Structure 1
Amino acid sequence: MENCKDHFNFAGGDTVALAKKYGTPLYVVAEEKIMERCEEIRETFLEKYINTKAAYASKAFLTMAMCKIIAREGLGLDVVSGGELYTAIKADFPMEKVMFHGNNKSWEELYLAVENNVGRIIVDNLAELQLLDEIARQQMKTVKILFRVTPGIEGQTHEYIVTGQKDSKFGMPLEREKIYDAVRQTIESQYLDLTGFHFHLGSQLFQKDIYTDAIDVVLNLIHDLKERLGFKAIELNVGGGFGIRYTDNDEPKPLSYFTDAIMEKVIEGCQKYSITTPTIIIEPGRWVVGEAGITLYTVGNVKEIPNIRTYASVDGGLPDNPRPALYRARYEAVVANKKNAPLSMKTTIAGKCCESGDILIWDLDTPEIEAGDILAVLATGAYNYSMASNYNKLPRPAVVLINQEGKSEVIVQRESYENLLERELIPSHLSEE
């Protein structure tokens, strides 16, 4: 594609040309930006420290093409549902590098995981532990597991995406007797192999001290288990949640800001408690893909309310990006076909859903905006496609991957109206009327 100097370019692609070629709304994902983040993981963590692993948290964005990229880059994969696991299976992702999370895994999901020899299952609660033991016994397989624990540490982020506090639907609270009982059950099982522990503190975090505080809590637990039960943990998964830049108010840190502090605390804590240093695992998701994606829209109606506000409505909104409505998430955007035009007005970007709360961006600085303009919303690579819905019977957008040569290719086809109805059935007594 030839790039016009007045157009916004993303990862070597002219976004106006992309909108014209593939239509809007359109998710655009830059392969090279994902590769750069994976390289940073390797250089500043995996190659810098021994006994380390990294798994991409696929709930942020998962397609079969993304599975292929992550496998090629040498990372593992964190999945949280049967659907995510099935996607990895269909993409031939190496199952030994898959970690299966979730607070309410079904029998069918656990059976699928054991059947396909998933590398680790992160056990969330005692009921799951018993269910998994039964499934492993049925299949006569030994399953490697980690216990997810809640260390009682709260991160500074939106209340809906904090997960490390004691009052959480995720994981086992650190009530020692209950943890001891769970570990004892696992030691006695012929089919479960407990390798260690996992915690996750939240998402879009910018402080490192919460990770080090949580590590100290869990290492203390590991020490107690060694003393009391003779159990030796060989793995500690510290999750992800590393923050990215959405707006100028965000101050993201390099990965090493977190991982150096994590490893220093692990080494210090293991010496303090006289325990063997476990393999340390991180699970970045948003951090890998968030800034690697944008969403393109076409502006439709522009509505000026004198002395109050100007609304520019686009051809997407809440169904393809629910985060502003869910979390009051903030984004930045550019009018892609007027990149060099002066920012002369404030425009509120409204979605097309029949909801007053369907506002993508309040009071965005824009050039004079008009119907037909192309809007590029930045940093939408994480939790946009993966959270998309068909609310108001709107078809979900296509996803286009741009590679390092600037070539683009569809990796998820745009839904049609026919797709919206293909699973619907009319009961016989209604079809006869």
Structure 2
Amino acid sequence: MTDTSVIRRLDANASDFSRQLDQLLSWESVSDTSVNQRVLDIISNVRQRGDAALIDYTRQFDQLDVQSMQDLIFPRERLEQALTEITDEQRHALEIAAKRVRAYHEHQQQDSWRYTEADGTILGQKITPLDKAGLYVPGGKASYPSSVLMNAIPAKVAGVNEVVMVVPTPRGEVNELVLAAAAIAGVDRVFTIGGAQAIAALAYGTESVPAVDKIVGPGNIYVATAKRHVFGKVGIDMIAGPSEILVICDGQTDPDWIAMDLFSQAEHDEQAQSILLSPDAAFLDKVAASIEKLLPSLERETIARTSLRERGALIWVKDLAQAAEVANRIAPEHLELSIADPEAMLPTIRHAGAIFMGRYTAEALGDYCAGPNHVLPTSGTARYSSPLGVYDFQKRSSIINCSRDGASELGKVASVLARGESLTAHARSAEYRIKE
């Protein structure tokens, strides 16, 4: 198997494959010292000066001549207006996507529960939504209405009382699709601020921006670094790495389809990762040819080409069982099972953010309108984390209601354990309730 000029070829059975795969997957969430210090300064300034700091940063970074926070607030009427500014086709697509996302996430709803033991003691769990959630949305020419739906709708389904969205409008550039998505998703308040200063405002609150309980949504290195620093004061969704796709194909899918599926992530940015596993070496050759043929047709060809060259790979495996082993080691954000019987393979897959079953299920459908959330664990974190969901906007409280008999029996156990830890007050507190 020879290398192409666009994407490397690997053999999963080569003696040094493990080392090669480690190098391929290597990615560090870097935030250099200057970025880190700048973010810390911004957070400190927002905490001390509140709205005044937000106004100053908006003038500086977004080049907007704002006089007060009122200039940085979009009322609900402005969101509704956006629905009339977009095309009928765009509105229809947003509404269908929102309906599907809402229906899927309604299945994630959990109910409080409890049970009663023989002695009358009641144990259980109470599910409570967060009071406020903050949603960061990139602004300007960037258009991510799908991210608005994917972040705001689960919060609303969870019962969050107030969803606060921040979206910068650099040089006054307003994205009507994003505002329309906010209207459809039920976002309650929108502030036209961005960057680390917006994250700080959501975390600590200002005179105008309410402090929230959790911050979700994608952003640049300043936003990601700020989310790291405010975590603990508030919850965050995740620190996301570059987009990823791993395709397992048996060699029977149209190679052009597979090439375009790989492009669907490669076009995000130069650090995105696209990998194909197949036991059919001739098919890998066909996909390599399709990549060469179709790459020039992309609007973001340069970005995709760099991504494929630096972080992409076509990997030969001896069979689908070995493909599953490699996939579990990678723990990809998106996994396509482009094979004849994906259901048969599904039990062997342990680690993946989202699994796309069969030849017709393009990853792109999950990005926009299939229904499941597109906010997914990256950089191997699917080994221990899950897609964003309703459960991210809820918390669980334990319920313990001991009967007299239950308190007496449990008190005896607690007493022994507490005294074993030399915690006398714990022991005596429990012992007071032991029946004579």
TM over 0.5: no
Q: Higher helix fraction: Structure 1 or Structure 2?
A: 2
Q: TM-score, normalised by structure 1?
A: 0.30
